[in-house]
Structure 1
């Protein structure tokens, strides 16, 4: 198995730090690890996510990250190394996103939605009033659809991230929402894969991303999937992948598909 979503941001850009993630992955039987960084952390992408929080996070040179992962590919590690980036979709910034992505030899690009304008969608402890939940869900999945429609991304990350703190719209099945179906169709049209992520198991929602019901919808449109942990610390690499295997089989998949070399 390959873990397509592993961040290095909580340590230095060194082979010593990266090797700790590889050690965990190898112990858990991984065949590959996709190292990524949030695009907003790179100086060359400053202003794509345009708020003071992102500005404070923007401290790294893209070249340093790319060079580190490229060096790691040459070290003969027991797992294959892939170079990726997690790039937020921000409406109106498509040209800047495209220009940034074009400048580096990514093996894959994760597309994610964390913001509705200046409003965060997944901050710890963030809770909406009951009458706000459905509009927030609708907006989130419209943004996921718009992200896929750009054609700039390879993998849709944590597809139903909006549920992270455990809130759901009352009186409606999320997988039946017009906006959810539209987002899945857009991913299919774009030829993207969907990430099946164990990160939600470590969040208040306590569930895999995406839900089983949404994953069945994704399966019905024959969309490929990849596994991920969204690890930010070495111990989380490949976490709960047995649970992911059970989850995807319950949705009708044989196993996750490796779709990039």
Structure 2
């Protein structure tokens, strides 16, 4: 999905600009709060994106930071308005965990995706039948299965579209050998992966059993790269737990290094499929 249409991307862009402006003005979060008669926590929540910022509050911040040029103020006001607009994933907030919906929003605004999967085909690459089988086998409530399938297919549209993010998916070999939904569904899913792998901006790779194991393979994780805001954000799928967000610099570097190691011993999907006995 285009960044300019992504409210989360606009929110990230705005809070980055505000932090930069405050730093350039030589102000701390505490001093901003004191001068505007706000609580320090309000400033922190605005800068971290925990809350939105109203046009009135935004203008007060810009005035304090010395940003008074009409064109620049108008641009940032428009960014703030765009950050509050509804996106397609908002219709799923009443059905799914907020962390999952935020993951989807981050995915839609990313310029790059690096994903390691150790159990099943990544959700955004699944066929409808494969997704339905996975969700049913994982015990999803029957009334939510079709909504979840629709959300995954919409995510896929954004990734495969022309101008979509540069994406590398590394799958453990077991992902392709584990039958989900029966032989026909599994075969159709593998053929679908082959089609996606032919797209110029998508690479699907397989880490074979022969590459062994290493610490970190126990979980699946995704690294999102952004053209604006924080350079990287990592989401980790921990068994039995919610999706965990990692944005601490040391943690992010750990997963970037881990992905590079897993990717180094992985084969292109076409090579792996071609080497399998018929």
- Judge same fold: TM > 0.5, yes or no: no
When Rg is computed on C-alpha atoms for both structures, the one with the higher figure is 2
TM-score between the two structures when normalised by the length of structure 2: 0.31
Query: Which structure features the higher share of helix residues?
Result: 2
